Amino acid sequence: MIQLWALIVGVGTYSTHSDCDLVGPTKDVDKVHKYLREKMNVPSSNIRVLKDEQANREEIISSFSSHLISNELIKWGDAILFHFSGHGSRAKAPKNWPVVEEERDADDDGGEDGDSEARRMLEIILPHDEGEQIIGSDRKVCGIPDRTLGVLLNKAARAHGHNITVVLDCCHSGHGTRLPNDDHGLVDGEEYRIRGIDPSKVAPLWEGVDYAILNDNAEEAGDGGSGRIHPSDLPASLRTAFTGSSAKSHILMAACSQKEEALDCRGGGLFTTYWLKALCDPDLHPRSYAEMMKYIKAAFERLAARNPDTKVKDQHPRCEGTSCDRLAFEETAVDKRLFTARVVDNGGLCAIDAGELHGIRSDTVFELFDLKSGSQARRELGSATATEVFPIACIARPLNSLEVSQTHIYALVSRWPYSLRFAVRNTQANSTLAQGLYGSLERRIQMEADGGSYHKERVEDANEADLVLEVGNRGVSLQRRDQYMRGLATRMPLVESKYVDEYFPEILDDFARFNYYLGHHNPVEPFASQVQVELHLLEEDSDCDFFGDSKLVEPMKLGKEIVFQNREATVVHSTSNGYAFVLRMDGAAPAPLYPHLTYFEPGTYQIENWYSPFEVDKPTLHPGTSLQIGGSPESERPFTFTVRECINEDLDTVFIKVWLLSSPTQMDFLDQDPVIGFDEYGRQIERRRGERSASSDEWSPSENRGGWDSITLKITVIGRN
């Protein structure tokens, strides 16, 4: 059973903003509390609720500290939930407070003292007593800024682990109630209001606000707890907002993006309503944060289609954090190499969502599991062998008949088709050190060979090898000889002597996998000739933050095109000469396509998914249209290419692979963490230990015969200062 601790805050009434009172936040609190008690069996003592007058600024912060940070009953890894429903806004950062975004308010005349610089804004949530005069002071109670919440969340993570969920059902822009008569309307016949207060109507953040909380963090900031800490002295992890996509301490489920508005209805906030529906839907599998957000966004799109003249179309919920693939309220990440399956033919067969594209063949063997709702605990159901393979799916025959009632089945490939031919050479045979290392490597290889090796084949002739392991005094260097990797600018990775026993021979499986999918293609090539791919720099725009969190409403302007010749191009990495790149695709195929973009890094053998259609069942490249990946509403963040450790110290090579599908499928099974070499900062990459990650409806094969194709692009990166 999941052990969970929650602080649920709902503010519908405000002491100084009575004209902006809301009806939904207290309903949100009641619904979330009911879900935790009845669906998750969370003890009432684990849940602290603050409503309206109870949810004043001091009580929210003190309850967070006492219930979620200093609570000695919380064990490491227990789930922690902070849920806030109410008004949000933005406030000018106090002097010297670090901010990420700088913005000029539309009605700002330049600021105090004629300062013409853009105003620096922080996101805030508003407690019940926001705006009240503080007794004995000329100040007023202000909102709780994102930096304060960020420090509190980091403290909770240090004390109890990173299994923390933050849900914010409020505006981030605060621009929702500029016009009192224009902040409400009807959605499905129900009146709604905006959960935001105009920044000009909220109390300012004074310079010393929350210094006590920041000073509690003095030891982590390097001060040792001996002196006062100014916000600008905080470490980078705490200076930025808690809403960043790189946050490691928690997962953020937010009702909308920055500069957007969250809607409030009589039954509760729209976002909270759909979030709870996602949590309760028995057909949502796996119930990860990423999958729940897809569910929520799809629900908002349907609602906007029914109510086209409302603000629903302008609210875009988001999920932020580095672990969005985690199951809800669990530390366990979804196993990306588990494929969904369904029982067909009365249990005699099963349909698996993996086919030719994924590397499945007619004799591929799967292990089947029953993945229980709300947990990743697996119950083994036996094995099954693929008998009929389609482009993105296959039919497999189980060794034992399956129960028709087993509707949530997952399949794990037990033997992949990729293999690697390798040779071993001792380049310093007269060296005692090299001889010892060579002997150690031979023993490791032989141990695996005795147990059976599916992905590796040793050859004696180095000319027949895809990879040659060259043993020397310093370690084992890699001489790459396959058609894609030989002759690359990227320097040959070196495995130092001390890592040989840890890395080999298992690391060769990662090399084999990398090479296989880099070269994997459809020999028929049904779409590649009908899609034109271009690489562009983004046009320089001093008013635009390429990598900000703001929601784009139209594509950014394209700058210089980087021309491909025979699918190869050269780019220059220089911060002084532009560094944000995007891909543009023009489609001429007769049917809509589902494009995916995968990044291959030869220097580390990393595979990373760079783009997939967010709604997997919606094509994004239609006949006669173009798609911009990066710097667009469909895919906001542009790409960057950096130079790692290379032969000439200023050259590197990477690959981008464009997958073109005529039917939807999941492609994140491809992801592979860096396994060798150095990162862009010159730090040694540490190999992760442990088990390798693997990612009674009727089923019609005709629906899964969609074609697939791929385009592999080689990019050489030149670094310049």
pLDDT for 206 equals 86
As a whole number of angstroms, the distance between CA 73 and CA 66 comes to: 11
Q: Are 128 and 52 in contact (CB under 8 A)?
A: yes
The model's pLDDT over 393-445, given as tens digits with 9 standing for 90+, comes to 999 998 877 765 556 688 999 888 888 899 999 988 888 888 888 888 888 88
539-554 average pLDDT score: 60
Task: Give the CA-trace dihedral at 645, 647, 651, 654, to 10 degrees.
Answer: -70
Domains and CATH numbers, the chain: 4-320 (3.40.50.1460), 420-519 (3.40.50), 528-663+706-719 (2.60.40)
As a whole number of angstroms, the distance between CA 303 and CA 38 comes to: 28
The model's pLDDT over 233-254, given as tens digits with 9 standing for 90+, comes to 444 444 444 444 445 678 999 9
pLDDT for 359 equals 93
Does residue 308 have a pLDDT over 90?
no
Does residue 132 have a pLDDT over 50?
yes
Locate 665 and state its tokens: 């499928």
pLDDT band at 673 (very low <50, low <70, confident <90, very high): confident
pLDDT band at 548 (very low <50, low <70, confident <90, very high): low
**Arithmetic mean of pLDDT over the chain:** 80
Does residue 226 have a pLDDT over 60?
no
Q: Are 102 and 29 in contact (CB under 8 A)?
A: no
386-391 average pLDDT score: 94
Among 102-106, 414-418, 518-522, which is the least confidently predicted range? 102-106
Under DSSP, is residue 35 helix (H, G, I), strand (E, B) or coil? Answer: helix
635-653 average pLDDT score: 69
pLDDT for 33 equals 97
92-115 average pLDDT score: 52
As a whole number of angstroms, the distance between CA 310 and CA 304 comes to: 7
pLDDT for 243 equals 46
Does residue 379 have a pLDDT over 90?
no
632-643 average pLDDT score: 78
Under DSSP, is residue 422 helix (H, G, I), strand (E, B) or coil? Answer: strand
Given strand 251-254, what is the order of strands in its sheet?
A: 47-51, 4-10, 79-85, 164-169, 251-254, 318-320
Under DSSP, is residue 444 helix (H, G, I), strand (E, B) or coil? Answer: helix
Q: Are 352 and 411 in contact (CB under 8 A)?
A: yes
pLDDT for 117 equals 37
The model's pLDDT over 578-637, given as tens digits with 9 standing for 90+, comes to 578 999 999 998 889 999 999 999 888 999 999 988 665 678 999 999 999 988 887 878
As a whole number of angstroms, the distance between CA 254 and CA 293 comes to: 10
The larger pLDDT score, comparing residue 542 to residue 243, is at 542
Instruction: For 417-438, give one letter per residue: b (16+ CB within 10 A) or e.
Output: bbbbbbbbebebeeeeebeebb
Beta strand residue intervals within 136-196, DSSP E: 144-145, 164-169, 184-187, 190-194
Under DSSP, is residue 717 helix (H, G, I), strand (E, B) or coil? Answer: strand
pLDDT for 247 equals 59
Which of 210-219, 300-309, 655-664 is the most confident on average? 655-664
As a whole number of angstroms, the distance between CA 574 and CA 583 comes to: 19
10-22 average pLDDT score: 90
500-520 average pLDDT score: 87
Task: Give the CA-trace dihedral at 51, 57, 62, 64, to 10 degrees.
Answer: 60
pLDDT for 646 equals 45
As a whole number of angstroms, the distance between CA 443 and CA 476 comes to: 15
The model's pLDDT over 170-209, given as tens digits with 9 standing for 90+, comes to 987 433 332 333 455 666 666 778 888 888 899 999 888 8
555-579 average pLDDT score: 82
Strand partners, 83: 8, 167
In the DSSP assignment, the letter for residue 36 is: I
Strand partners, 88: 125, 196
Does residue 694 have a pLDDT over 50?
no
pLDDT for 696 equals 34
Locate 672 and state its tokens: 């592979």
The model's pLDDT over 431-465, given as tens digits with 9 standing for 90+, comes to 888 888 888 888 888 877 655 555 788 899 988 99
As a whole number of angstroms, the distance between CA 110 and CA 107 comes to: 9
**To the nearest whole percent, how much of the chain has pLDDT over 90?**
35
The larger pLDDT score, comparing residue 384 to residue 238, is at 384
185's CB contacts (< 8 A; 6+ apart) are: 191, 192, 310, 311
pLDDT for 178 equals 29
Residue from 169, 347, 153, 348 nearest 251 by CA: 153
502-522 average pLDDT score: 88
H or E element: which one contains 160? helix 146-160
pLDDT band at 541 (very low <50, low <70, confident <90, very high): low
Locate 551 and state its tokens: 């929601």
pLDDT for 71 equals 96
Does residue 274 have a pLDDT over 90?
yes
Q: Are 538 and 638 in contact (CB under 8 A)?
A: yes
pLDDT for 253 equals 94
